Amino acid sequence: MPQKPLRLVPAVHRATHRIGLYLSGLTGDRLAQGDAHILAHLAVSGPVAIADLHRGLAHKRSTLTSILDRLTARGLIRREVGTSDRRTFVVTLTPRGQAVARHVHEQLAALEAAILKSVPPRTLDALTRLLKSLETEAHERATRRR
């Protein structure tokens, strides 16, 4: 018997994939989606502990480490020992990284602004709640499996 088509997950997957394609063409650096999201996050947050990046972006630790290794090798970030806690590593944008991060953030902000022009605030609030529910449920199910 055929399965009932999914309604939400394919749309989220397609949108995420399209955003990744959009991000990959933003700079001459050909950024991967994970790289771009971390740079955009750093453009807003400034220096941040790796643990906070992990919590904020929900990457697996090994994935986050790989992305940070790539960004370090490209000269976009530095990882430094924390000043208040030497067990903590803090991620900081380099001057070149600041320029790339600012550009990525500006382009994502423009994309978001273009979309929000046609979305009523109540619809945006409902979508935000829906996406948060999807994230929470997926996280809880993954955690229970471990």
Of 44-58, 89-103, 131-145, give the range with the top mean pLDDT. 89-103
Residue whose structure tokens are 């999914």: 6
**pLDDT at res. 99:** 94
Q: What is the pTM of this model?
A: 0.85
Topology annotation, domain 9-145: Arc Repressor Mutant, subunit A (1.10.10)
Mean pLDDT value of segment 50-69: 89
Tell me the C-alpha distance between 138 and 127, whole Å.
16
**pLDDT at res. 30:** 77
Indicate whether 89 pLDDT > 70: yes
Indicate whether 11 pLDDT > 70: yes
More confident residue, 31 or 76: 76
Q: Where are the domains of the chain?
A: 9-145
Q: What's the chain's average pLDDT?
A: 90
Confidence of residue 81 (pLDDT cuts 50, 70, 90): confident
Tell me the C-alpha distance between 135 and 33, whole Å.
18
Mean pLDDT value of segment 17-37: 83
Residues 92 and 80 sit within 8 Å (Cβ to Cβ)? yes
**pLDDT at res. 23:** 84
